[in-house]
A and B are shown apart, each in its own frame.
Chain A
Amino acid sequence: MILLESTALVLLIVFLIYTIRHFVFVFSSISNKVEDVDFDPNYSPFVSILIPCHNEEAVIGGTLRGLLAQDYPKNKLEIIVINDASIDATGVICDEISKNTPQVKVVHRSKGGNGKSAALNSVLRSIMGEIVLCFDADYVPCSSDLIRRLIRHFKDPKVGAVQGNVVVFNKNENIITRMVYLERVGGYEIELRARGLLNIPAQYGGTVGGFRRNVLEEIGFWSTIGLASLTEDTESTFKAILKGYKIKYDVTAECYEEAVSSIKRYYHQRKRWATGHQACFFKYWKIVLKSKMPIATKIDSIIVLGFYFVPLFSFLALILTAVNQFEPIRIMQNTLVWWGILLWMFGTVGNLAPVTSILTGLWLKKDFKSCIFVIFLPFMYLVNVIISINALYINLTKKEFVWVKTKKEGYISTAPD
């Protein structure tokens, strides 16, 4: 019984920390606009854009067209497509585009399958850029000044990395894409924006963003070792933060993404993220706690690292909540009644605070119609419980992770340039 009560107490503390953080983020986002960074016409460093791709014939053409339409000086921009042993027409499409555009260079890797980090690292020694931006093959810029919007932040020498805003292009496709859209709204419109307002480093998300090249060299490029390399973006973010660099988020640098459109694809993609993220937690939590970073950054870093444990904790809370309903085994007595109430609230339908973030994000985007789909979020929460448990099992047993390629339909190719 003491064990159950202690577990309930720990869960409540975890939930309260996450909840308070979410509400602080929500209210900060409502109350303030992120300070706009001026464009400096004299600041235009050489930029290398890396696009790793493996069997992306449906989307790579649209992405390249979108990036070539950017108004960044052509003589200061190179786009390097890393064709990671594709067996479809990806290489042919890229070669065709590069014939007429000298900025586009295609690197064909005959032996792939070692993940995104290995593909990115393979070209890092040969690139010319002072700034290295990364795009996944299914991301198309919303406007022609996306690169300029991202690059302007690097004028501050303390900025080590920058992240742009991701907009789901195919949100109306089905219920899964709508759920991904809602998750993105909560994450990008509220969480990342609020971090900027509160002077907490943002997180580099692996696409629509990048690093200063010398920072990448300092942190040892993208990690290819261990399960943490599955989320090379999270790992490189923490390496940069620990080195004392700022990571900026630009809400105005918008880029369309094609969201996964089936539950199977969602499951495989999130399982990869959850496994990598949890591995990063095990690898970095002690280092973060011992570091000399500001206390707010330290707390937020631990919360971010532990993000993919939350569905698991929430599920545990659900079980405890159910147990607590029956008198003979009731663990929450009168003295703990308030804790019990909170446990009910968070355990029954997930967490109140993330949904508040999503609704507030929709309000900022003036998207009233999507609010109704919030009622389906508990379903996704249950899917994420399974994903988190699976990821934890892989992390604890050190099982080999099988990378399942996230298939894209190619809707993003119809996005306006």
Chain B
Amino acid sequence: MATTLGRRYYPRILIFSLIFAIMYLAIPYVQEINTYIIYRIFSIETSASTYGNIVTIPYKTTFISADITAECSGILSAAIILFMILIPDVGLKNKLIGICLAIPLTLAVNILRIFLILFVGVTTDIYLIPLMHILSQALLFFWIMLIWTIYLFIIVKKPKWKYDTA
């Protein structure tokens, strides 16, 4: 009987771990890019925004502050998608197409997510920010699922082995 958790998985897991570590180190830079894009596109001004800092956002006649966490960079979601694309035993071409499409789009969706949190808070009521935070996590969840569905059904199409049913 075949056992999949064999040695042939070790290099893949090692490569993934290295990529994940590099991505983790990139979090502050990605957050800077996110902040810049949000400022340029949506004209919402935020100050220094690396992981662990607090940003100030104009709200009515005053300012509100927001904690910056590592997930603001979208790296965790991108890492989950990367993990899901890299680990299965499918062709290299499929993996490359999957990565090239999924990672930039995920980072873009994350920017949209952060914008939604801030936009709703600034334009409606500050107390809606926590709610939007939860809902935006759900948005990322569905995005990951959408990417996975597209990856399997449209890019990979069928498994390497034949599936014989009764």
Residue numbers in A under 8 Å from B88 (CB-CB): 26-27, 30-31
The size bracket of the interface on A is 35 or more
Chain B nearest CB: distance from A368 CB in Å? 5
Whether B52 lies near A31 (C-beta < 8 A) is: no
Q: How far is the CA of A371 from the CA of B88 in the complex (A)?
A: 20
Q: Is B149 an interface residue (CB 8 A)?
A: yes
Whether A32 lies near B145 (C-beta < 8 A) is: no
Stretch at the interface among A210-218, A344-352, A408-416: A344-352
Q: Is A337 an interface residue (CB 8 A)?
A: yes
Task: Name A's interface SS.
Answer: helix
Residue numbers in B under 8 Å from A36 (CB-CB): 164
Partner of B89 from the list A30, A198, A344, A355 (CB cut-off 8 Å) is A30
Residue numbers in B under 8 Å from A27 (CB-CB): 4, 87-89
Q: Is A262 an interface residue (CB 8 A)?
A: no
Q: How far is the CA of A340 from the CA of B162 in the complex (A)?
A: 41
Stretch at the interface among A102-110, A121-129, A143-151, A233-241: A143-151
Nearest residue (CB) in B for A344 is B137
Whether A252 lies near B165 (C-beta < 8 A) is: yes
Whether A322 lies near B165 (C-beta < 8 A) is: no
Residue numbers in A under 8 Å from B159 (CB-CB): 30-31, 33, 364
Whether A364 lies near B163 (C-beta < 8 A) is: yes
Q: Is B69 an interface residue (CB 8 A)?
A: yes
Residue numbers in A under 8 Å from B52 (CB-CB): 334
Residue numbers in B under 8 Å from A364 (CB-CB): 159, 163
- Contact mask A31-46 → B, CB, 8 Å, 1/0? 1110110000000000
Q: How far is the CA of A375 from the CA of B138 in the complex (A)?
A: 11
Q: A334-B52, A371-B149 are in contact. List 5 more A-B contacts (CB 8 A).
A: A35-B1, A35-B2, A143-B166, A253-B166, A359-B152
* 6 tightest Cβ-Cβ pairs between the two chains A and B: A31-B89, A325-B130, A33-B161, A143-B166, A28-B4, A363-B152
Query: Which residues of B line the A interface, CB within 8 A?
Result: 1-5, 52, 69-71, 76, 80, 83-84, 87-90, 130-131, 133-135, 137-138, 140-142, 144-145, 148-149, 152-153, 156, 158-166
